[in-house]
């Protein structure tokens, strides 16, 4: 199958509102670092332009900003050389947006910004999306040349192709000489002269092969091969590129090389999925030489597995033997109960159905097929609960409010637990389930170390010296502030408390011990925020809505951050925390 490469020539100067992305393109920001010519305020650092928040109002969320200076600049170091197809910029819109007019986007390998210009910003009233058409470079810079100005960037995204071959390990059928080993085909050296030591080369094998283990499954868009040019390029004729999950190269053929005289050969694989990419010369003895192999694609989505089929089930009672609990996980989605495809309890209070998954899982969603021949409204108000208690006393993932749908999907957002239950609380009712499907991943072991104890705490103000910020991480969970000091601010707007964990973690949960001797209602509406910068307007993990219990657990589901903040937004309030515990894993 031939691959026709069509080059879309975009406007190189000005704004372009529709750069088309190939399937294998991705945001190249991950792992990058940024710097700028100066910083107007500490919270307007260069990193603010790629923190994942595209808010254009600088009063709500800080952007990167330089001081007013001659030819200010901002630079992103991608750490590797990439082909950049487009740069998307979110400019400040609450004021001063005109300052970005005339800014140049430059891409290249010079760390001093002396690189070719991808485009110039001439319109700041519409989305800024500049096509760079595969310009290559490690550094992406935004420069306002030739005048004094402040440079403000609220978000920068860089799209292009990431050569995933660099992530893998290479082997081959044999090695002609040590310097011609398999790794030389993915070392980034595109010199086609094998004598320079830039190419792999096998012995005269049948079949001769070279294999790349990507370590994960990918949807491969295309494979680019740089052939040897100093001699012998015809040896590559009829070589096959194969993609699949078999480590012995017995995988589907993406394409065959039909012209061996080309220096650069591009083969389109159209999303073939697999962990292994191989180049094989079948049916004859041959030396296989590859001066460079590049692979472009996206990580393959994991195939969803219905976890419900793996577990054991039971229910509060069984109306008739053929309506037992197991009929809700038998794979039969027929919604006519008369055909024996549904579970059915008696009129219990509460009526319940429970799935024991045998292991703890992070449950992403639960799908329920409701009865369709009659009585579908009985399921209204049913709760889906996920947790580790075998008596159904677990957190609620979601409640069914609309029972008119045949298929009901409830997102559980990674709630962890061994048991998934459907419970109709507070009334006598029949519970009928024609099918239940559960999707998620096996849960990692819970973090058992309280990270807060090794952190540093501060707060918006301190009511009295003994009620300092550190009192919330001293290990004492006493809720009477007069018997044991808790942290306590003045009535601030906003009142906040912040913990610096000193390094980044995947935050799973935050546990707060509220004040119990009085005034617990003050904590209602407090937001737990998790971020990588020491600002109190980081992304929200969760909000405190129920202050009736002294201990409040908030799930953050692996949010990345170094700083944990508790903030009471929008009103003047005292913030009191008798203890804060943080659980997660170091990144």
pLDDT band for position 17 (cuts 50, 70, 90): very low
**Cα gap 225→185, rounded to integer Å:** 9
- Sequential DSSP letters for 313-326: EEES--SSGGG-GG
Query: Average pLDDT in the 498-524 region?
Result: 93
- Sequential DSSP letters for 214-262: EEEEEEEEEEEEE---SS-GGGGTT-EEEEES-TTS---EEEE---TT-
pLDDT at 22: 47
Closest of 513, 484, 532, 518 to residue 582, by C-alpha: 513
Query: What is the dihedral sign for C-alpha 557, 525, 551, 479?
Result: positive
Would you state the structure tokens that stand for residue 100, as one six-digit string?
């970005």
pLDDT band for position 286 (cuts 50, 70, 90): very high
**Cα gap 206→103, rounded to integer Å:** 57
pLDDT digits (tens, 9 = 90+) for 350-368: 999 999 999 889 999 999 9
The CATH architecture annotation of domain 307-442 reads Sandwich (2.60)
CA-based Rg of the chain, rounded to a whole angstrom? 30
**Cα gap 384→359, rounded to integer Å:** 18
At residue 527, the 3 state secondary structure works out as strand
Query: Average pLDDT in the 46-52 region?
Result: 89
CATH superfamily of 25-161: Galactose-binding domain-like (2.60.120.260)
pLDDT at 320: 95
Please check the confidence at residue 5 and state whether its pLDDT lies above 50. no
- The secondary structure element, H or E, covering residue 276 is strand 264-281
Domain ranges of the chain: 25-161, 165-299, 307-442, 451-586
Q: How far is CA 35 from CA 47, 54, 79, 139, 239, in A?
A: 7, 19, 13, 11, 46
Query: Average pLDDT in the 178-202 region?
Result: 92
Would you state the structure tokens that stand for residue 325, as one six-digit string?
């609990």
Query: Average pLDDT in the 266-292 region?
Result: 93
pLDDT band for position 256 (cuts 50, 70, 90): very high
pLDDT digits (tens, 9 = 90+) for 63-84: 999 999 999 999 999 887 788 8
Query: Average pLDDT in the 277-281 region?
Result: 97
- % pLDDT > 90, the chain: 67
- Sequential DSSP letters for 338-399: GGT-SEE--SBTTEEEEEEEEEEEEEEEEEEE---SS-GGGGTT-EEEEES-TTS---EEEE
Query: Average pLDDT in the 4-30 region?
Result: 43
CATH among 2.60.120.260, 3.40.630.30, 3.30.1330.10, 3.30.1360.20 for 165-299: 2.60.120.260
pLDDT, averaged across the chain: 89
Would you state the structure tokens that stand for residue 515, as one six-digit string?
């004040």
Name the CATH topology of 451-586.
Jelly Rolls (2.60.120)
Q: Residue 378 CB: number of other CB atoms within 10 A? A: 18
> Residue 118, by phi and psi: left (phi above 0), alpha (psi -120 to 50) or beta?
alpha
Would you state the structure tokens that stand for residue 389, as one six-digit string?
């208690």
pLDDT digits (tens, 9 = 90+) for 413-431: 889 899 999 999 999 999 9
pLDDT digits (tens, 9 = 90+) for 307-318: 999 899 999 999
* Cα distance from N-terminal residue to C-terminal residue, the chain: 43
pLDDT digits (tens, 9 = 90+) for 520-545: 999 999 999 999 999 999 999 999 99
**Cα gap 424→353, rounded to integer Å:** 9
Query: Average pLDDT in the 254-263 region?
Result: 84
pLDDT at 445: 63
Helix, strand, coil percentages (3-state) for the chain, rounded to 5, are: 10, 45, 45
Query: Average pLDDT in the 502-515 region?
Result: 92
Domains 165-299 and 451-586 equal at CATH topology level: yes
Cis peptide, bond prior to residue 207, ω within 30 of zero = yes
DSSP code of residue 294:
E
- % pLDDT > 70, the chain: 94
Closest of 492, 448, 449, 444 to residue 469, by C-alpha: 492
Neighbouring residues of 524: CB distance < 8 A, sequence distance ≥ 6: 544, 545, 547
Question: 326-333: long-range contacts at Cβ-Cβ below 8 A with a sequence spacing of 24 or more?
Answer: 328/353, 328/433, 328/434, 328/435, 328/436, 329/355, 329/435, 329/436, 330/435, 331/435, 332/434, 332/435, 333/369, 333/434, 333/435
pLDDT at 1: 35
Which has more pLDDT, 238 or 52?
238
């Amino acid at each position: 199958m031939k691959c026709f490469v069509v080059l879309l020539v975009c406007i190189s100067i000005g704004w372009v509102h529709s750069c088309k992305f190939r399937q294998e393109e991705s945001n190249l920001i991950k792992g990058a670092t940024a710097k700028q010519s100066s910083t107007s305020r500490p919270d307007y650092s260069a990193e603010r332009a790629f923190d994942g928040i595209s808010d254009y109002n600088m009063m709500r969320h800080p952007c990167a900003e330089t001081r007013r200076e001659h030819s200010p600049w901002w630079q992103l170091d991608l750490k590797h050389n990439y082909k950049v197809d487009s740069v998307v910029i979110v400019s400040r819109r609450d004021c001063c947006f005109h300052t970005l007019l005339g800014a140049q986007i430059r891409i290249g390998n010079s760390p001093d910004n002396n690189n070719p210009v991808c485009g110039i910003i001439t319109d700041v009233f519409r989305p800024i999306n500049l096509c760079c058409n595969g310009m290559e470079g490690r550094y992406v810079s935004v420069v306002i040349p030739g005048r004094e100005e402040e440079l403000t960037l609220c978000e920068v995204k860089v799209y292009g192709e990431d050569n995933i071959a660099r992530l893998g390990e290479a082997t081959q059928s044999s090695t002609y000489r040590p310097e011609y080993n398999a790794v030389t085909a993915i070392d980034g050296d595109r010199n086609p002269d094998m004598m320079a030591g830039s190419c792999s080369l096998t012995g005269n094998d049948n079949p001769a092969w070279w294999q790349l283990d990507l370590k994960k499954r990918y949807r491969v868009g295309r494979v680019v091969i740089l052939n040897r040019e100093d001699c012998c390029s015809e040896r590559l004729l009829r070589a096959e590129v194969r993609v699949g999950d078999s480590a012995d190269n017995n995988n589907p053929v993406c394409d065959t090389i039909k012209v061996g005289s080309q220096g650069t050969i591009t083969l389109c694989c159209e999303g073939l999925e697999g962990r292994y990419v191989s180049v094989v010369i079948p049916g004859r003895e041959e030396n296989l030489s590859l001066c460079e192999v590049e692979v472009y694609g996206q990580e393959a989505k994991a195939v969803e597995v219905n976890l419900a089929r793996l577990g054991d089930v039971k229910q509060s009672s069984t109306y008739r033997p053929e309506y037992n609990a197991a009929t809700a996980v038998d794979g039969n989605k027929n919604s006519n109960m008369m055909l024996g495809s549904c579970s059915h309890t008696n009129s219990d209070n509460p009526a319940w159905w429970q799935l024991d998954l045998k292991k703890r899982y992070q449950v992403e969603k639960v799908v329920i097929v409701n009865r369709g021949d009659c009585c579908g409204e009985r399921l209204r108000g049913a709760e889906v609960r996920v947790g580790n208690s075998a008596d159904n006393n677990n957190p609620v993932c979601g409640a069914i409010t609309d029972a008119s749908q045949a298929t009901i999907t409830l997102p559980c957002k990674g709630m962890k637990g061994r048991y998934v239950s459907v419970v109709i609380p507070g009334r006598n009712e029949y519970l009928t389930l024609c099918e239940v499907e559960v999707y998620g991943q096996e849960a990692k072991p819970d973090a058992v170390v309280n990270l807060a104890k090794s952190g540093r705490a501060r707060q918006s103000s301190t009511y009295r010296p003994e009620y300092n910020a550190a009192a919330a991480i001293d290990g004492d969970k006493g809720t009477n502030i007069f018997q044991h000091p808790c942290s306590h601010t003045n009535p601030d707007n906003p009142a906040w408390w912040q913990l610096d964990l000193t390094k980044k973690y995947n935050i799973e949960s935050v546990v707060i011990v509220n004040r119990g001797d009085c005034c617990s209602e003050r904590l209602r509406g407090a937001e737990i925020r998790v971020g990588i910068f020491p600002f109190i307007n980081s992304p929200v993990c969760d909000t405190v809505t129920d202050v009736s219990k002294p201990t409040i657990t908030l799930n953050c589901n692996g949010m990345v951050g170094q700083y944990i903040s508790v903030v009471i937004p929008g009103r003047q309030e005292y913030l009191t925390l008798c203890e804060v515990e943080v659980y997660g894993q170091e990144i």
